[in-house]
Copies of this chain bind each other. A is one copy, B any other.
Protein backbone atom coordinates (compact mmCIF):
# COMPACT_ATOMS: atom_id res chain seq x y z
CA UNK A 1 0.00 0.00 0.00
CA UNK A 2 1.67 3.18 -1.11
CA UNK A 3 -0.64 5.07 1.26
CA UNK A 4 1.83 4.17 3.96
CA UNK A 5 4.71 5.65 2.01
CA UNK A 6 6.18 9.02 2.85
CA UNK A 7 4.06 11.77 1.30
CA UNK A 8 5.99 14.08 -1.00
CA UNK A 9 5.62 17.80 -0.38
CA UNK A 10 6.33 20.58 -2.83
CA UNK A 11 5.10 23.98 -3.95
CA UNK A 12 1.32 23.76 -4.34
CA UNK A 13 1.13 20.08 -3.33
CA UNK A 14 1.27 19.91 0.44
CA UNK A 15 -1.81 18.28 1.97
CA UNK A 16 -1.60 15.02 3.85
CA UNK A 17 -3.46 11.99 2.56
CA UNK A 18 -6.40 12.22 4.94
CA UNK A 19 -7.31 15.82 4.19
CA UNK A 20 -6.51 15.66 0.48
CA UNK A 21 -9.26 15.61 -2.16
CA UNK A 22 -6.94 14.90 -5.07
CA UNK A 23 -4.13 12.35 -5.01
CA UNK A 24 -1.08 12.43 -7.28
CA UNK A 25 0.40 9.04 -8.01
CA UNK A 26 3.57 8.30 -10.03
CA UNK A 27 3.57 5.16 -12.21
CA UNK A 28 7.06 4.93 -13.76
CA UNK A 29 6.32 1.95 -16.02
CA UNK A 30 7.63 1.77 -19.61
CA UNK A 31 7.94 -1.97 -20.11
CA UNK A 32 6.11 -2.35 -23.46
CA UNK A 33 7.68 0.65 -25.19
CA UNK A 34 9.11 -0.48 -28.53
CA UNK A 35 10.83 2.68 -29.82
CA UNK A 36 12.43 5.12 -27.35
CA UNK A 37 12.11 4.04 -23.68
CA UNK A 38 12.36 6.42 -20.74
CA UNK A 39 8.89 7.43 -19.55
CA UNK A 40 9.97 5.74 -16.32
CA UNK A 41 11.89 8.93 -15.55
CA UNK A 42 8.83 11.17 -15.96
CA UNK A 43 7.24 11.25 -12.47
CA UNK A 44 10.55 12.18 -10.85
CA UNK A 45 11.34 14.81 -13.52
CA UNK A 46 7.87 16.34 -13.28
CA UNK A 47 8.02 16.67 -9.49
CA UNK A 48 11.45 18.31 -9.60
CA UNK A 49 10.34 20.98 -12.10
CA UNK A 50 6.81 21.37 -10.69
CA UNK A 51 8.34 22.65 -7.46
CA UNK A 52 9.61 25.69 -9.38
CA UNK A 53 6.65 26.77 -11.52
CA UNK A 54 4.01 29.29 -10.53
CA UNK A 55 1.04 27.89 -8.59
CA UNK A 56 -1.19 30.52 -10.21
CA UNK A 57 -2.70 29.85 -13.65
CA UNK A 58 -3.50 32.94 -15.70
CA UNK A 59 -5.44 30.63 -18.05
CA UNK A 60 -7.94 29.57 -15.38
CA UNK A 61 -7.33 32.51 -13.00
CA UNK A 62 -7.00 29.96 -10.23
CA UNK A 63 -4.28 28.95 -7.78
CA UNK A 64 -3.09 25.54 -6.57
CA UNK A 65 -2.71 26.89 -3.06
CA UNK A 66 -6.52 26.88 -2.84
CA UNK A 67 -6.64 23.11 -3.48
CA UNK A 68 -6.07 20.10 -1.21
CA UNK A 69 -3.63 17.86 -3.03
CA UNK A 70 -1.38 15.06 -1.78
CA UNK A 71 1.41 13.28 -3.71
CA UNK A 72 1.76 9.67 -2.56
CA UNK A 73 4.97 8.97 -4.47
CA UNK A 74 5.42 6.15 -6.96
CA UNK A 75 3.64 2.83 -7.28
CA UNK A 76 6.39 0.13 -7.22
CA UNK A 77 7.27 -1.36 -10.62
CA UNK A 78 8.41 -4.95 -11.21
CA UNK A 79 11.00 -4.45 -13.98
CA UNK A 80 10.51 -7.04 -16.69
CA UNK A 81 7.22 -8.34 -15.27
CA UNK A 82 4.28 -6.60 -16.99
CA UNK A 83 1.50 -8.75 -15.53
CA UNK A 84 2.56 -8.24 -11.95
CA UNK A 85 3.04 -4.50 -12.49
CA UNK A 86 -0.44 -4.04 -13.98
CA UNK A 87 -1.97 -5.94 -11.06
CA UNK A 88 -0.18 -3.71 -8.56
CA UNK A 89 -1.41 -0.58 -10.33
CA UNK A 90 -5.00 -1.82 -10.38
CA UNK A 91 -4.94 -2.64 -6.65
CA UNK A 92 -3.32 0.61 -5.59
CA UNK A 93 -5.79 2.70 -7.57
CA UNK A 94 -8.74 0.72 -6.22
CA UNK A 95 -7.51 1.25 -2.69
CA UNK A 96 -7.30 5.03 -3.11
CA UNK A 97 -10.71 5.16 -4.81
CA UNK A 98 -12.11 3.33 -1.79
CA UNK A 99 -11.11 6.34 0.27
CA UNK A 100 -13.19 8.58 -2.04
CA UNK A 101 -10.27 10.47 -3.52
CA UNK A 102 -9.79 11.65 -7.08
CA UNK A 103 -6.53 10.51 -8.64
CA UNK A 104 -4.17 12.07 -11.15
CA UNK A 105 -1.62 9.49 -12.30
CA UNK A 106 1.72 10.43 -13.79
CA UNK A 107 3.02 7.90 -16.34
CA UNK A 108 4.97 6.12 -17.49
CA UNK A 109 3.67 4.81 -20.75
CA UNK A 110 0.07 4.81 -21.87
CA UNK A 111 -0.60 1.16 -20.97
CA UNK A 112 -0.97 2.25 -17.33
CA UNK A 113 -4.37 3.69 -18.24
CA UNK A 114 -5.71 0.15 -18.67
CA UNK A 115 -5.42 -1.09 -15.05
CA UNK A 116 -6.43 2.36 -13.78
CA UNK A 117 -9.65 2.30 -15.82
CA UNK A 118 -10.39 -1.26 -14.68
CA UNK A 119 -10.55 0.02 -11.10
CA UNK A 120 -12.38 3.21 -12.05
CA UNK A 121 -15.15 1.39 -13.90
CA UNK A 122 -15.93 -0.68 -10.83
CA UNK A 123 -16.61 2.56 -8.96
CA UNK A 124 -18.03 4.56 -11.88
CA UNK A 125 -19.80 2.13 -14.30
CA UNK A 126 -20.93 4.96 -16.60
CA UNK A 127 -17.44 6.44 -16.84
CA UNK A 128 -16.69 8.54 -19.93
CA UNK A 129 -13.11 8.84 -21.13
CA UNK A 130 -11.77 11.90 -22.88
CA UNK A 131 -8.60 10.85 -24.64
CA UNK A 132 -6.06 13.33 -26.06
CA UNK A 133 -3.43 11.59 -28.18
CA UNK A 134 -1.58 11.62 -31.51
CA UNK A 135 -2.21 7.88 -31.83
CA UNK A 136 -5.49 5.98 -31.82
CA UNK A 137 -4.01 3.15 -29.66
CA UNK A 138 -6.82 0.96 -30.96
CA UNK A 139 -4.88 -2.03 -32.31
CA UNK A 140 -5.92 -5.48 -31.23
CA UNK A 141 -2.29 -6.63 -30.93
CA UNK A 142 1.08 -4.91 -31.43
CA UNK A 143 4.20 -6.87 -32.30
CA UNK A 144 2.44 -10.01 -31.11
CA UNK A 145 1.36 -8.66 -27.72
CA UNK A 146 -2.17 -7.77 -26.55
CA UNK A 147 -0.96 -5.59 -23.67
CA UNK A 148 0.91 -2.66 -25.22
CA UNK A 149 0.98 1.12 -25.33
CA UNK A 150 -0.42 0.74 -28.87
CA UNK A 151 -3.41 -1.39 -27.86
CA UNK A 152 -4.40 0.33 -24.63
CA UNK A 153 -7.54 2.09 -25.85
CA UNK A 154 -8.77 -1.13 -27.48
CA UNK A 155 -8.38 -2.88 -24.13
CA UNK A 156 -10.06 0.03 -22.36
CA UNK A 157 -12.88 -0.08 -24.92
CA UNK A 158 -13.46 -3.74 -24.08
CA UNK A 159 -13.95 -2.81 -20.39
CA UNK A 160 -16.60 -0.19 -21.04
CA UNK A 161 -20.20 -1.05 -20.29
CA UNK A 162 -22.39 2.00 -20.81
CA UNK A 163 -19.61 4.59 -21.02
CA UNK A 164 -17.89 6.06 -24.02
CA UNK A 165 -14.40 6.96 -25.29
CA UNK A 166 -13.94 10.37 -26.95
CA UNK A 167 -10.67 10.67 -28.86
CA UNK A 168 -9.05 13.96 -29.94
CA UNK A 169 -5.95 14.94 -31.88
CA UNK A 170 -5.44 11.50 -33.48
CA UNK A 171 -3.13 11.79 -36.51
CA UNK A 172 -1.28 8.48 -36.79
CA UNK A 173 -2.35 4.85 -36.96
CA UNK A 174 -3.18 2.03 -39.31
CA UNK A 175 -6.13 2.32 -41.67
CA UNK A 176 -7.86 -0.32 -39.53
CA UNK A 177 -7.55 1.77 -36.38
CA UNK A 178 -9.12 4.80 -38.02
CA UNK A 179 -12.02 2.63 -39.24
CA UNK A 180 -12.43 0.99 -35.82
CA UNK A 181 -12.46 4.42 -34.22
CA UNK A 182 -15.17 5.70 -36.56
CA UNK A 183 -17.33 2.66 -35.79
CA UNK A 184 -16.76 2.21 -32.08
CA UNK A 185 -15.29 5.25 -30.38
CA UNK A 186 -15.84 8.90 -31.05
CA UNK A 187 -12.55 9.47 -32.92
CA UNK A 188 -11.84 13.09 -33.92
CA UNK A 189 -8.71 13.28 -36.09
CA UNK A 190 -6.18 16.13 -36.01
CA UNK A 191 -7.90 19.02 -34.19
CA UNK A 192 -9.53 19.52 -30.79
CA UNK A 193 -12.33 21.70 -32.18
CA UNK A 194 -15.18 19.28 -31.57
CA UNK A 195 -14.67 19.27 -27.82
CA UNK A 196 -17.56 21.67 -27.16
CA UNK A 197 -20.04 19.30 -28.83
CA UNK A 198 -18.72 16.42 -26.78
CA UNK A 199 -19.10 18.26 -23.49
CA UNK A 200 -22.78 18.70 -24.15
CA UNK A 201 -23.19 15.01 -24.96
CA UNK A 202 -21.42 13.88 -21.78
CA UNK A 203 -23.52 16.03 -19.49
CA UNK A 204 -23.06 15.09 -15.85
CA UNK A 205 -21.63 11.59 -16.31
CA UNK A 206 -18.34 10.98 -14.47
CA UNK A 207 -15.35 11.76 -16.68
CA UNK A 208 -11.77 10.48 -16.77
CA UNK A 209 -9.23 12.50 -18.78
CA UNK A 210 -6.30 10.65 -20.30
CA UNK A 211 -3.69 12.98 -21.78
CA UNK A 212 -1.01 11.39 -23.91
CA UNK A 213 1.23 14.44 -24.19
CA UNK A 214 2.25 13.51 -27.73
CA UNK A 215 -1.08 15.02 -28.77
CA UNK A 216 0.96 18.22 -28.70
CA UNK A 217 3.10 19.09 -31.70
CA UNK A 218 6.72 17.92 -31.28
CA UNK A 219 7.86 21.52 -31.80
CA UNK A 220 6.66 22.20 -28.25
CA UNK A 221 6.83 18.62 -26.96
CA UNK A 222 9.77 16.70 -28.47
CA UNK A 223 10.44 14.69 -25.30
CA UNK A 224 8.30 11.67 -26.05
CA UNK A 225 8.77 8.19 -27.44
CA UNK A 226 6.98 8.53 -30.78
CA UNK A 227 6.71 12.23 -31.71
CA UNK A 228 4.21 12.97 -34.49
CA UNK A 229 4.44 16.28 -36.40
CA UNK A 230 1.21 18.05 -37.24
CA UNK A 231 -0.01 18.16 -33.64
CA UNK A 232 -1.84 20.69 -31.52
CA UNK A 233 -0.26 23.79 -30.02
CA UNK A 234 -0.03 24.31 -26.28
CA UNK A 235 -2.58 27.12 -26.53
CA UNK A 236 -5.05 24.84 -28.32
CA UNK A 237 -4.71 22.29 -25.53
CA UNK A 238 -5.16 24.98 -22.87
CA UNK A 239 -8.30 26.18 -24.66
CA UNK A 240 -9.68 22.66 -24.85
CA UNK A 241 -8.96 21.96 -21.17
CA UNK A 242 -10.58 25.25 -20.13
CA UNK A 243 -13.82 24.07 -21.73
CA UNK A 244 -13.88 20.97 -19.50
CA UNK A 245 -14.60 22.97 -16.30
CA UNK A 246 -18.31 22.15 -16.39
CA UNK A 247 -17.71 18.40 -16.42
CA UNK A 248 -17.68 16.12 -13.38
CA UNK A 249 -14.05 15.02 -13.59
CA UNK A 250 -13.17 12.11 -11.30
CA UNK A 251 -9.63 11.33 -12.36
CA UNK A 252 -7.06 11.49 -15.09
CA UNK A 253 -3.56 10.73 -16.23
CA UNK A 254 -0.67 12.44 -18.00
CA UNK A 255 1.49 9.97 -19.89
CA UNK A 256 4.36 9.54 -22.35
CA UNK A 257 6.79 12.25 -21.25
CA UNK A 258 10.28 10.85 -21.91
CA UNK A 259 12.66 13.22 -20.07
CA UNK A 260 15.78 11.61 -21.54
CA UNK A 261 14.72 12.87 -24.99
CA UNK A 262 14.02 16.36 -23.66
CA UNK A 263 17.41 18.04 -24.12
CA UNK A 264 16.09 21.57 -23.60
CA UNK A 265 13.87 20.69 -20.63
CA UNK A 266 10.89 22.32 -22.32
CA UNK A 267 8.83 19.12 -22.58
CA UNK A 268 9.03 18.59 -18.83
CA UNK A 269 7.93 22.17 -18.20
CA UNK A 270 5.00 21.66 -20.58
CA UNK A 271 4.03 18.48 -18.70
CA UNK A 272 4.06 20.46 -15.44
CA UNK A 273 1.83 23.20 -16.83
CA UNK A 274 -0.64 20.60 -18.13
CA UNK A 275 -0.57 18.92 -14.72
CA UNK A 276 -1.25 22.24 -13.00
CA UNK A 277 -4.28 22.92 -15.20
CA UNK A 278 -5.59 19.37 -14.69
CA UNK A 279 -5.26 19.71 -10.90
CA UNK A 280 -7.08 23.05 -11.04
CA UNK A 281 -9.86 21.58 -13.21
CA UNK A 282 -10.84 18.95 -10.67
Contact = CB atoms under 8 A, between A and B. Distances in A.
B266 A58 contact: no
A264 B261 contact: yes
Counting every copy of the chain, the complex holds: 6
Contact of A273 (B32, B173, B229): B229
Most buried by B among A53, A147, A217, A230: A230
A58 B229 contact: no
A214 to B, nearest CB: 11
| Chain A interface residue bracket vs B | 35 or more
A263 interface: yes
Contacts of A82: 80-81
A229 B79 contact: no
A43 interface: no
A14 to B, nearest CB: 12
Interface string A139-180: 000011101100000000000000000000011111100100
Contact of A234 (B230, B260, B263): B230
A269 B229 contact: yes
A261 to B, nearest CB: 6
Interface in A71-123: 76, 78-82, 111
Nearest to A136: B58
B148 A79 contact: yes
A89 to B, nearest CB: 14
A81 B145 contact: yes
- List the 7 shortest-distance A-B pairs measured between CB atoms, nearest first: A32-B80, A222-B264, A219-B219, A229-B234, A37-B37, A219-B220, A80-B82
